[in-house]
Chains A and B, each alone.
Chain A
Amino acid sequence: MNEKHYQCNCSLAGAKKLDEQAVDKILQKHRGKPDALLQVLLEMHSLIDYIPENIVFQIAEGLDIPPADVFGMLTYYPSFKTAPPGKYKISVCLGTNCYLRGSSRILERLCQVLNIEPGDTTPDGKFSLEAVRCLGACALSPVIMINEVVYPQVEPQKIPDILISCEKP
């Protein structure tokens, strides 16, 4: 099980939000169905890429279930995020092949350079960092992915250059 926790996100720049009406509309659509909770979370997640803490309580109330159930589902599935993603989502592959070719050092270096932990977003909202298991590009390992672009054969020294390059159009 992955550990997730809420950090205060109010200061994060550019975080998307869902207003109360939008949330209500989604709740309305799924209420009463056996898989309502998962569907509601998936739909909201697809809109803003994370589930803010205040919405958890709104969902619980709307579906008439304890907030613990909502937290339970949210923290069970690794693809649900509790913090808003950065403008550039960085995924470091820690799959077998990438790991054996030293991808944990890439992750270490990224944590150092960005000064955040895996799962977090930089305070300016620019970069978020996470570790994933196999991006399916094992022959090119070690790889990282930034917003759907896979970077093959990454070396830790190249990290700063890669970060600068993604800011260029």
Chain B
Amino acid sequence: MIKTRQEYTTYQTKLKAELAREKMRVLVCAGTGCVANGSLTVYEAFEQKIKAKGLPVKAQLLEEAGGHEPYAVNISGCHGFCQMGPLVRIEPSGVFYHHVKPGDVDEIIEKHILNNQLVERLLYHHPATGQAVTTQDQIPFYQKQTRVALEHCGRINPDDINDYIAHGGYKAITEILFEKTPEQIIDEVLASGLRGRGGGGFPTGKKWQFARAATSDKKYIICNGDEGDPGAFMDRSVMEGDPHRVLEGMMIAGYAIGADEGYIYVRAEYPLAVKRLKRAVVAAEEMGLLGYNILGTGFSFKINIKEGAGAFVCGEETALIASIEGQRGMPRPRPPFPANKGLWGCPTIINNVETLANLPPIIINGGQWFRGFGTAGSPGTKTFALAGQVAHTGLVEIPMGMSLREMVFEIGGGLRDGKQFKAVQIGGPSGGCLTEAHLDLPLDYEALKQVGAMIGSGGLVVMGQDTCMVEVAKFFMGFVQNESCGKCVPCREGTRRMLELLTKITRGQAGEEDLALLEELALVVQDGSLCGLGKTAPNPVLTTLRYFRHEYEAHVRDKKCPAGVCKALQDYYINQEKCKGCGLCAKVCPAEAIAGAKKEPHAIDTARCLKCGTCIEKCKFNAIYTA
């Protein structure tokens, strides 16, 4: 139990010495992606096999390993390069092995750990030159990244509070409790220019000022960990990989506005994040860094963890508050804003996970340091979930203002399988689709807004030539339609009608007038909806209509899907050279649309064909194709 500032400093010095004593540290990624690829068995193998060599091994910083220079074998949070998992990083050299299987562990121990030789075949190889890359930082995927919020993800053991403290954790809150007034903290955050990372981009310091000014005996901080964008996992990685950082950020926010209680609202689908956060809260409380009268300063802070119940709209602040209060999570009109009247009627600040994770380094290094990254209007860094048809998918943190081109072609390594770039969808269901013409656009709040997209949560999906943009718009519309809470009519009915229209278009049953109707409806939904869900729901449709109109026109005018995705708009043919005349397709065709003589190439009667695709699946010679 740490009771004074002096005790904290002494304890941290001791932990740092302990860290320095480690001879080597093996970090095995235990993020969701790597666990799916079997990283936990790799972790166990390292632990057992190093022990079996008679060497001292420890899984926690303060564990007694019985040797002078112990080997630490730790799990870590997500490294971001999920597709290459399971990933293993070895400190202090920063050597990075990928696709590590339990069978490789012996070799790594024998060569690297005992004899300081690299295991070349498990290193990353530069795709262009074929050269092996030794350390993590030299891999092109990481070279252009700057990690602030993700600083500790992949570097520390998320289940060990001591590891966090040894890496500078809880220093920011300790410092401000003794040296700064809440107003000074707000000024520092204002100076940093930090804007909310949850999508809206509202200046964090400004929001805090409102809550600070509100008079009330009770105020709350809520950490928004709902992360509803279906394809984003940045917040999850922070909560799983560095949970104490989130707690410390909340405490800083609490001190600034005068709150003594906080809630973390976590998406129900993130069981691992819930587990790690709960453990972190208990550990911080036991250590005396969280709870009543922290370090004898009179500042108290309590953190509760609430699991969401799976509704996307609960990410919206007023709906989130309703959900914590035990109501149906439906938004209400603002004002009053939560900063004045929030949870249980008290002034409440809601901040996104990443916003909060940026706070400790801002306090330690100062607002000006933070401004050293990013652009004048959008300072700092932002995490993105880079996915889709790029060669390198994963979790990325970049200084704001980097161009889309750098993101897709340098960090992402261009498109996979030699595909041609077509579009990028940014910001999830509230965001938009951008084209090749936007590749030099800087990734910041204003630039994206101007072209009809938004940073949103930070999902970034790269699409190649074989993606149908109408189908993509339909996918997002299907999502918001399903998630619309039903409270306001424009969103509830409008999104449903829009989805119907899009479905009609992809089936080739729509006319030109439907495009006009779709556009009109989109504007009505945008204007008339109560909350951000409805207001932004038409963005994917509007941007695709704007930048890929020809594709919509091909669907309604020529009844063709240029990308060859929409099933109903394709015809099925049999390749006369590949067909062996086995007759299987004719047998399975439910419409009896296939005919041909035995052992002779068959043919499909396109007029009778139902386009069900059964024949393609059954054909053993790949002879059936669509066009």
Q: Which residues of A contact B (CB under 8 A)?
A: 1-2, 33-39, 42, 72-73, 76-80, 94-97, 99-100, 132-141, 143, 148-152
| Contacts known (A138-B233, A140-B37); A78 close to B310, Cβ less than 8 A | yes
B325 in complex: contacting residue of A35, A42, A94, A138, CB < 8 Å: A35
Indicate if the CB atoms of B387 and A138 lie closer than 8 Å: yes
Chain B hits for A135, CB < 8 A: 32, 269
Q: Chain B contact residues (Cβ within 8 angstroms of A): what range?
A: 35 or more
Indicate if the CB atoms of B32 and A134 lie closer than 8 Å: no
Query: In the docked arrangement, what's the CA distance between A77 and B312, Å?
Result: 10
Indicate if the CB atoms of B326 and A136 lie closer than 8 Å: no
Query: In the docked arrangement, what's the CA distance between A7 and B328, Å?
Result: 24
Indicate if the CB atoms of A37 and B36 lie closer than 8 Å: no
Query: In the docked arrangement, what's the CA distance between A79 and B323, Å?
Result: 13
Chain B hits for A38, CB < 8 A: 323, 326-327
- Residue among A37, A95, A96, A99 having the largest count of chain B Cβ atoms under 10 Å: A96
Chain A hits for B37, CB < 8 A: 140, 152
| Contacts known (A1-B484, A133-B230, A136-B236); A148 close to B387, Cβ less than 8 A | no
B461 in complex: contacting residue of A33, A78, A97, A132, CB < 8 Å: A97
Chain A hits for B230, CB < 8 A: 94-96, 133-134
Does B284 reach chain A (CB closer than 8 Å)?
no
Indicate if the CB atoms of B428 and A139 lie closer than 8 Å: no
- Residue among A36, A138, A150 having the largest count of chain B Cβ atoms under 10 Å: A138
B residues 471-495 touching A (CB-CB < 8 Å): 472, 475-476, 479, 482, 484-486
Query: In the docked arrangement, what's the CA distance between A78 and B328, Å?
Result: 11
Indicate if the CB atoms of B271 and A39 lie closer than 8 Å: no
Indicate if the CB atoms of A77 and B36 lie closer than 8 Å: no
A-B residue pairs, 3 tightest by C-beta: A35-B326, A96-B231, A77-B309
B residues 1-41 touching A (CB-CB < 8 Å): 32-33, 35-37
Chain B hits for A96, CB < 8 A: 230-231, 387, 425, 428, 459, 461, 475-476
Does B83 reach chain A (CB closer than 8 Å)?
yes
Chain B hits for A152, CB < 8 A: 33, 36-37
Indicate if the CB atoms of B35 and A77 lie closer than 8 Å: no
Q: Which residues of B contact A (CB under 8 A)?
A: 32-33, 35-37, 82-83, 228-233, 236, 268-271, 308-312, 323, 325-329, 385, 387-389, 393-394, 425, 428, 459, 461, 463, 467, 472, 475-476, 479, 482, 484-486
Query: In the docked arrangement, what's the CA distance between A100 and B419, Å?
Result: 15
Indicate if the CB atoms of B32 and A78 lie closer than 8 Å: no
For residue A37, which residue of chain B has the nearest CB? B326
Query: In the docked arrangement, what's the CA distance between A143 and B484, Å?
Result: 25
Indicate if the CB atoms of A150 and B36 lie closer than 8 Å: yes
Query: In the docked arrangement, what's the CA distance between A39 and B389, Å?
Result: 42
A138 in complex: contacting residue of B35, B329, B393, CB < 8 Å: B393
Query: In the docked arrangement, what's the CA distance between A34 and B459, Å?
Result: 36
Indicate if the CB atoms of A97 and B231 lie closer than 8 Å: yes
Least Cβ–Cβ distance between A3 and chain B, in angstroms: 10
Indicate if the CB atoms of B467 and A140 lie closer than 8 Å: no
Least Cβ–Cβ distance between B522 and chain A, in angstroms: 20
Query: In the docked arrangement, what's the CA distance between A7 and B270, Å?
Result: 29
Least Cβ–Cβ distance between B369 and chain A, in angstroms: 31
For residue B312, which residue of chain A has the nearest CB? A133
- 20 of the cross-chain contacts (CB-CB < 8 Å) are A1-B486, A36-B326, A38-B323, A39-B326, A77-B309, A77-B328, A78-B309, A78-B311, A79-B268, A95-B231, A96-B231, A96-B428, A97-B461, A133-B228, A137-B32, A137-B33, A138-B233, A150-B32, A152-B33, A152-B36
Least Cβ–Cβ distance between B607 and chain A, in angstroms: 26
Indicate if the CB atoms of A80 and B83 lie closer than 8 Å: no
Indicate if the CB atoms of A139 and B388 lie closer than 8 Å: no
Chain B hits for A80, CB < 8 A: 309
| Contacts known (A96-B459, A100-B461); A137 close to B329, Cβ less than 8 A | no
Indicate if the CB atoms of A140 and B82 lie closer than 8 Å: yes
Query: In the docked arrangement, what's the CA distance between A155 and B486, Å?
Result: 36
- Residue among B228, B479, B486 having the largest count of chain A Cβ atoms under 10 Å: B479
Least Cβ–Cβ distance between B530 and chain A, in angstroms: 15
Indicate if the CB atoms of A134 and B233 lie closer than 8 Å: yes
| Further 15 A-B residue pairs, CB within 8 A, beyond A77-B309, A99-B475, A140-B36 | A1-B486, A34-B326, A38-B327, A76-B485, A96-B231, A133-B230, A134-B269, A135-B32, A139-B394, A140-B37, A143-B36, A149-B36, A150-B32, A152-B33, A152-B36
